[in-house]
Amino acid sequence: MLGGFYLLSETSAAEAEEIVIYSSRREQFVRPILQQFEEETGIEVQLLTGQEAQFNLRIKEEAGNPRADVFLANDAGVMEDLRRAGVLREAPDRVLETIPADKRAADGSWFGISARSRILMYSRDLLSEEEAPESLKDLTDPRFQGEFAITRPGNGSMISHMSGLRLYHGDDWTRDFIQGLMANDPLILSGHTDIRNAVGRGEVKLGLVNNYYYRLQLEEETHNNVAAVYPDQGEDEMGIFVNVAGAALIEGGPNPGAVEELIDFLLREEIMIEYAEVSRETPLIADYQGYEKSIEDFKHMDIRLDEIGDYWQGTLELMEAAGYHF
C-alpha cells in the first residue's frame, strides 16, 4: 500500500520497462487484463487504485512532473475535465480510427473501452412487466412515489447523466425533472450496489442504475428476481444515456513507449470484450453479441460525451438548486 493507494506489482530499478497506471476501477476488474498485458509484453505494471476524485486532483497536481502514464477511469466527464485542464496528451491516429467519435475526446486523449447504460432496474416480485416504467420521466409519476432508489447526488454517474440531460434537453427540462424526482420522495442511497440490493430485497420497486449492476444482481444466489428496462426507446424519445469507462493518456508520463504498447493492447477487439465482460459492461464493438445486445441495438441519446465537460460544474449547481442536495 502506498499513500492510500494499492500497488499491483513492484518493479526494481534494474528492470528495463514499466508503466504506471492510476485506476478508479475496482482492482478485480482491471487486474486480469493488466496481468495479461504484462505476460504478453514483458512490461511491468504498477497499478495504483483509488477514488476517481482523488486521481482527478492528483493528476492535476502532478502536472509538469507526472508520476503516472495512464488513468483508467469510470466516467467520461472526469476524463474530459482532465483534458480541459491540459494534463492529457493527444492519442495516435489508431485510437481515432477505432473508437466511435461520440465515445472519446476529439483528440483521442481519453477514449472509451466499455460502455455502461443508465437503466431502470425493477423487482419482478413487486412489478409486472406491464407495470414497469418505460421512460426516465416515469420516476416523477406519483404511482412510484417513495418506491424507487437513486444514488447520492455526488455520484459521478449521476452527475454525468444529469449533464447529458442538460446537453440534450436544456436546463429548464432538466431542472423540472430533478424537482419532480425530489418531489416523488426517492430513497437516496450511497451507491449503485446499495440500490441493486434494495431492489433485489424488495425494499423498493425500482432503481436507477448502470446496467452492469442489474447483471450483477442477476448473478446473486438470492434476491435475484429482477428485470431491467432500457428506457425511452420510442421513435420520438431520447433513448438511454450511455457513458464509458476508458483510458486517459497523461501528458509527459514517464514511460511513453510502454503507453504505445498499452494502447495497441487495449484496442484489440478480444481485449475490449474481456475488459467489458469482467465488469458486466458492454464492449464498444458494433457487432458484439454476448450476454447482452450490442450497444448499437439500443437507441441512445445523440450527444458527444466530450461535450459534457462544458456542463459538469453547472450541473452540480443545478442539482443543488433543484433540491437534490449534496
Is the pLDDT confidence value at 31 over 60? yes
Is the pLDDT confidence value at 15 over 60? no
Q: What is the pLDDT of residue 3?
A: 34
**Residue 238, all three cell numbers:** 431520447
Q: What is the pLDDT of residue 324?
A: 97
What mean pLDDT is predicted for residues 122-144? 97
SS3 content of the chain, % helix, strand, coil (to 5): 40, 20, 40
**161 compared with 1, residue with greater pLDDT:** 161
Task: Give me the CATH code for the 117-241+312-321 domain, please.
Answer: 3.40.190.10
* Predicted confidence band of residue 40 (pLDDT cuts 50, 70, 90): very high
* Alpha carbon distances (Å) from 204 to 112, 123, 133, 184, 277: 32, 8, 14, 13, 28
Predicted TM-score (pTM) of the model is 0.86
Is the pLDDT confidence value at 102 over 80? yes
- DSSP β-ladder status, 282-283 and 206-210: unpaired
Taking phi over 0 as left and psi of -120 to 50 as alpha, with beta for the rest, 252 belongs to left
Q: What is the pLDDT of residue 326?
A: 81
Q: What is the pLDDT of residue 291?
A: 60
Specify which residues 122 forms β-bridges with. 206, 227
Identify which of 209, 204, 213 has the alpha carbon closest to the alpha carbon of residue 184: 204
Give the DSSP letter of residue 143: G
pLDDT tens column, 306-322: 998 888 889 999 999 99
For 4-18, 136-150, 263-277, which range has the lowest pLDDT when averaged over its residues? 4-18
CB 277, CB 291: distance < 8 Å:
yes
Q: Rounded to an integer, what distance in angstroms lies between the CA atom of residue 321 and that of residue 34?
A: 42
Identify which of 47, 48, 112 has the alpha carbon closest to the alpha carbon of residue 78: 112
Task: Give me the CATH code for the 6-115+243-294 domain, please.
Answer: 3.40.190.10
Q: Rounded to an integer, what distance in angstroms lies between the CA atom of residue 77 and that of residue 93?
A: 22
* Predicted confidence band of residue 16 (pLDDT cuts 50, 70, 90): very low
* Predicted confidence band of residue 59 (pLDDT cuts 50, 70, 90): very high
CB 131, CB 120: distance < 8 Å:
no
pLDDT tens column, 156-172: 899 999 999 999 999 99
Is the pLDDT confidence value at 66 over 60? yes
**Residue 263, all three cell numbers:** 494502447
- DSSP β-ladder status, 6-7 and 44-49: antiparallel
Q: What is the pLDDT of residue 70?
A: 98
- Do 6-115+243-294 and 117-241+312-321 come out as alike in CATH topology? yes
What mean pLDDT is predicted for residues 12-35? 83
**Residue 117, all three cell numbers:** 447504460
Q: What is the pLDDT of residue 156?
A: 85
Q: What is the pLDDT of residue 7?
A: 45
Q: What is the pLDDT of residue 179?
A: 98
Q: What is the pLDDT of residue 6?
A: 39
Mean pLDDT rounded to a whole number for the chain = 91
Q: Rounded to an integer, what distance in angstroms lies between the CA atom of residue 301 and that of residue 190?
A: 26
CB 248, CB 110: distance < 8 Å:
yes
Q: What is the pLDDT of residue 167?
A: 95
pLDDT tens column, 277-309: 888 888 887 677 666 666 677 899 999 999 988
pLDDT tens column, 223-264: 999 999 999 999 999 999 999 999 999 999 999 999 999 999
DSSP states of 63-97: TTS-S-SEEEES-HHHHHHHHHTT-B-PPPHHHHH
Task: Say which amino acid occupies 169.
Answer: H
Q: What are phi and psi of 70, to 5 degrees?
A: -145, 145
Q: What are phi and psi of 72, to 5 degrees?
A: -90, 110
Is the pLDDT confidence value at 13 over 90? no
Q: What is the pLDDT of residue 14?
A: 34
Q: What is the pLDDT of residue 298?
A: 85
Identify which of 248, 267, 306, 308 has the alpha carbon closest to the alpha carbon of residue 106: 306
Q: What is the pLDDT of residue 241?
A: 96
Could you state, in order of their start, the residue ranges of all structural domains in the chain? 6-115+243-294, 117-241+312-321
Is the pLDDT confidence value at 62 over 90? yes
